[in-house]
Structure 1
């Protein structure tokens, strides 16, 4: 259930592209503002005509940081909120409407992300890493190509060999193109008596969860 809060105006402190189509926003943090790693917020843009066009984005910052951070994929070919976010600069404002999200850390397990589905996991990994509790956690991360990976260096630093990339686009030299499907899960996990955290595009999440359950994962151990 969304956490109802008074709408907050968030000034952009810095912003830049971290991949060819993914942009990082660092924003002012309201006083006494609270959220949990893995949660998201409904956001709009404080510009005429855009205030009511609300979209969900995950916090990638930690609750004890003195700023908020969001990492957003920009779709320039669509004249929508994402495209408009790509044009914003320092000093402009976003509007935060409420906080929500069912993804939270419930114990060791395997994290499976597709594209920007990594974003709620980033805050969880950061919280575990900085508290020295990032143990018995693994990440399978699917993207089209190496150029699409979000925060590769950070993920490598935090997870080390427990972090595995999967690329779906043909022609990525030096990498084997695969998808996270039933066969991939059999080949790379084997034992399905774990928690599984899954986030990505709707079809990706549905297909991965269906495959996991068919292989013996307990539905109550799926966190999506």
Structure 2
């Protein structure tokens, strides 16, 4: 993700809580005149000694029309780093954020391909599509290790129904496919290959999916992802 010098804002945390076993949702105040496009992110740091310079990119999962900001963040306790510290925060604590940035935005109907925490840019996009009644002709392929890792499972089911397709790499589950998102899985589940493809996840996954899409005849113009 390419980033430039940004203005900084201090925001108060309103609410915080887990929505899966390792995914934290944080709701904060929204600075006056602060704006973003669904799919965009910001640099976030904790307003605490020793953490103010430790900025990490997190995606907005609220809507631009909301009077607050929301972040949906996967926690990595084993890293003993910023995300681990985030789970100790409470209402009234502060975060430091920057202006919004990011290359992922909605450019028309297509297939969204997400791996793990890569789902976060798509949360705000799908919320926005739902609000505008424009969910039709979009689908989501979501790769996780286990069923319990699926973020907002019931919400995506409500929005997309049969167009919400999960695949699990470390768990056999009769409700979901097993394995990883590869060329054959994309060919079987993506639908119209002439539409857009939105891709977000770990860098190796993004590169692999892009190669698979290109092998299927999808053009670079059709693939929307972050600048790596």
1:1-224 pair list within 5 angstroms: 2=3, 5-172=6-173, 174-189=175-190, 191-224=192-225
CA deviation string 1:93-126 (max 9, x = no partner)? 1100232100000001000000111110010111
Asked whether the 8 Å contact 2:17–2:26 carries over to 1, the reply is yes
For 1:122, what is the secondary structure of its paired residue? helix
TM-score under structure 1 normalisation? 0.95
Residue 23 and residue 133 in structure 1: after superposition, are their counterparts in 2 closer, same or farther (change >3 A)? same
Q: Which has the higher strand share?
A: 1
Asked whether the 8 Å contact 1:2–1:99 carries over to 2, the reply is no
For 2:117, what is the secondary structure of its paired residue? helix
Asked whether the 8 Å contact 2:166–2:176 carries over to 1, the reply is no
Residue 196 and residue 70 in structure 1: after superposition, are their counterparts in 2 closer, same or farther (change >3 A)? same
CA deviation string 1:9-34 (max 9, x = no partner)? 11110000111111000001111111
Asked whether the 8 Å contact 1:109–1:196 carries over to 2, the reply is yes
Uncovered stretches (5+) of structure 2, i.e. residues with no partner = none
Uncovered stretches (5+) of structure 1, i.e. residues with no partner = none
For 1:99, what is the secondary structure of its paired residue? coil
Count of residue pairs brought into register by the alignment:
224
